[in-house]
Amino acid sequence: MKILLVIATIASLLSPQAFANSLFSLENLERERAALLSVQLDSSLDLAQRQQKVQNIYRRLVDIERMVLRDDRVTSSNSALAQNAFDKYELTFLVHSSAEKSQSPLSHWMSELHLTTESILSAKAGHR
Amino acid sequence: MNTRIIMSSLILAISLGCTHFVLASEGRNWDPVASDKLIKLPANIIEKRIQQDFEASPMALHLVELEQDMQDKLSQLKSLGELIADSEGDDLINQRFELVQQKSEYLDLMQEAQGLRQNALAKKQQLYESVLGKLRNKNGRISKDEVYQLKQKQAQARERMQNVMAQVDSSLMHKGLDKRSPYADEFAVNLAKVEALKNAISQHKANASPTLGDVEVTSEEYVRQLLMQASTEQSLLDQEALMFSYMAKLVALDAQALEYEISYGDESTELTQRNRTKPADVADLFL
């Protein structure tokens, strides 16, 4: 009987329902990635400030990306967020996918979205 | 004369009875079901579980009884055969009649046992097919399942990450961020333990894949092999059925020969003509 209780307790602790949010790590990743891109595109920061902030976020992002890739709770949820995240590896796991192409995360991100220097410089504001 | 008529009609009845199929009595059945619990067992245990279930069934118990009866009948046949060698006259006829009767009863028992074995084998085949269908269905459902596909994507992404982990770590060093985070430290310590536990699970004998010969196979392959074995047994049973039919024919011919011998004498007995008065013999009286 005791053994059954112990097994039931362990099972309940391991079950996905025991955690309030199974997408916790993925949401953290999305936040940190958004913060990284936001900092890199923030024109109010000077070079030194930007570099320091980017380095801090970059360090955290490396860990968080690895956490999400190892987190089984994320895939057990079968949510649209999780589906999208793994369908778009290049945009989700920015640090590791940019390392594959030996690019910085921002360059890699812009390349994935087809935001080239020429297209940005030739962009015009106005009505379609 | 009356005795001979009765015996010959009895022999005729026995010879006809040799071709009659004895039906299994009611309540000696085996009704296995491929439940979900059965599918969850390892494939080699499924085979043992099915065999165990069959051996506890009324059909198997009846087969054991039949086997015992056949053994007893066989010893009677052997003793009769020995007696016949030393008998003659009416005793010989009686013992030959007894032998034919015993042979017929023995064949009836064998035929009933054969029928039950055919029935059991057909049910085993159906059960294996049902198990195979459910295993395939389960694997198909698992592979189509969205969660399964998401997990597959995560596994592929993880593999991709592994390829560039060293590169990312070296870029951290260049940026002066080479001090490992608490997550990285503890993760590394736990990873080794997790791998050791995973190895222990995979090597556990209760988790072992079924084997054919010395080769590990999947559950599906193992059940397919069981189906092949069942069809081999089916061919052998069909051959035995042919042997039974020939044995029954021989017993019928023995009964027929005995009947003819009793009614018309054996082959060496010649047809005798009654004496009759020929005209040539009495013609002189009329001269």
The pLDDT value recorded for residue B3 is 59
Query: Cα–chain-centroid distance for residue B59?
Result: 12
CB-based contact B111:B22 (threshold 8 Å): yes
Best residue of B142, B146, B149, B150 to probe chain A, by most A CBs closer than 10 Å: B150
Contact A86 B161 (CB under 8 A): no
Q: Is A126 helix (H, G, I), strand (E, B) or coil?
A: coil
Instruction: Give B139→chain A minimum CA distance, Å.
Output: 18
Does any CB of chain B come closer than 8 Å to the CB of residue A50? no
In chain B, what residues touch A55 (CB-CB under 8 Å)?
175-177
Span A70-91, pLDDT tens digits: 888 888 877 889 999 999 999 9
Inter-residue contact B7 to B97 (CB < 8 Å): yes
Q: Which amino acid is at A46?
A: D
**Mean pLDDT value of segment B48-75:** 92
Q: What pLDDT is recorded for position B25?
A: 42
CB contact under 8 A, B177 and A87: no
Minimal-distance CA residue of chain B relative to A57: B177
Q: Measured between CA atoms, how close is A1 to chain B, in angstroms?
A: 23
Residues of A in Cβ contact (< 8 Å) with B151? 72, 75
In this prediction, residues B205-209 reach a mean pLDDT of: 72
pLDDT beyond 70 at B229: yes
Place of tokens 């399964």: B148
B262: pLDDT strictly greater than 70 = yes
pLDDT tens by residue, B76-117: 999 988 888 888 888 888 888 999 999 999 999 999 999 999
Which ipTM score applies to this complex? Answer: 0.73
The set of long-range contacts for B168-174, using a CB threshold of 8 Å and a minimum separation of 24, is: B168/A62, B168/A95, B168/A96, B168/A99, B171/A99, B172/A58, B172/A59, B172/A62
Q: Does B188 touch chain A (CB under 8 A)?
A: no
Distance CA B33, CA B196 (A): 39
Three-state SS annotation for chain B = CHHHHHHHHHHHHHHHHCCCCCCCCCCCCCCCCCCHHHHHCCHHHHHHHHHHHHHCCHHHHHHHHHHHHHHHHHHHHHHHHHHHHCCCHHHHHHHHHHHHHHHHHHHHHHHHHHHHHHHHHHHHHHHHHHHHHHHHHHHHHHHHCHHHHHHHHHHHHHHHHHHHHHHHHHHHHHCCCCCCCHHHHHHHHHHHHHHHHHHHHHHCHHHCCCEECCEECCHHHHHHHHHHHHHHHHHHHHHHHHHHHHHHHHHHHHHHHHHHHHHHCCCCCCCCCCCCCCHHHHHHHHC
pLDDT computed for residue B27 by the predictor:
64
pLDDT in tens, B19-28: 433 333 456 7
Q: How many CB pairs under 8 A join A and B?
A: 62
pLDDT score recorded for residue A19: 44
Contact A88, A109 (CB under 8 A): no
Give me the residue label for tokens 């369908």.
Answer: A87
Q: Do B168 and A67 touch (CB under 8 A)?
A: no
Report how far residue A48's alpha carbon sits from residue B138's, in angstroms, rounded to the nearest whole number: 58
Q: What residues of chain B lie within 8 A of the CB of A87, using their CB?
A: 153
- B136 to chain A, minimum CA–CA distance in Å? 23
Distance between B199 CA and the closest CA of chain A, angstroms:
18
Average pLDDT over residues B64-74: 93
Q: Do A100 and B164 touch (CB under 8 A)?
A: yes
Q: What is the least distance, in Å, from the CA of B131 to any CA of chain A?
A: 28
Contact state of B150 with A69 under an 8 Å Cβ cutoff: no
- Both tokens of B243, joined, read 């042997």
What is the spatial distance between Cα A106 and Cα A30, in angstroms, rounded to a whole number? Answer: 15
Do B176 and A103 form a contact (C-beta atoms < 8 A)? no
Question: B147, A75: Cβ pair inside 8 Å?
Answer: yes
Q: How far apart are CA A119 and CA A90, in angstroms?
A: 21
Long-range contacts of B75-82 (CB under 8 A, 24+ apart): B76/B102, B77/B102, B77/B103, B77/B106
pLDDT at B18 over 50: no
A83 in contact with B at a CB cutoff of 8 Å? Answer: yes
Q: What is the pLDDT along chain A (128 residues), one digit of tens a residue?
A: 555 555 444 444 444 444 457 788 888 889 889 999 999 988 898 999 888 888 888 888 898 898 889 888 888 877 889 999 999 999 999 999 999 999 889 989 999 998 888 888 888 888 87
Please tell me the distance from the alpha carbon of residue B157 to that of residue A93, in angstroms, as a whole number.
9
Distance CA B192, CA A92 (A): 28
B250-277 burial, b at 16+ Cβ within 10 Å, e below that, comes to ebbebbebbbebbeeeeeeeeeeeeeee
d(CA B54, CA B41): 17
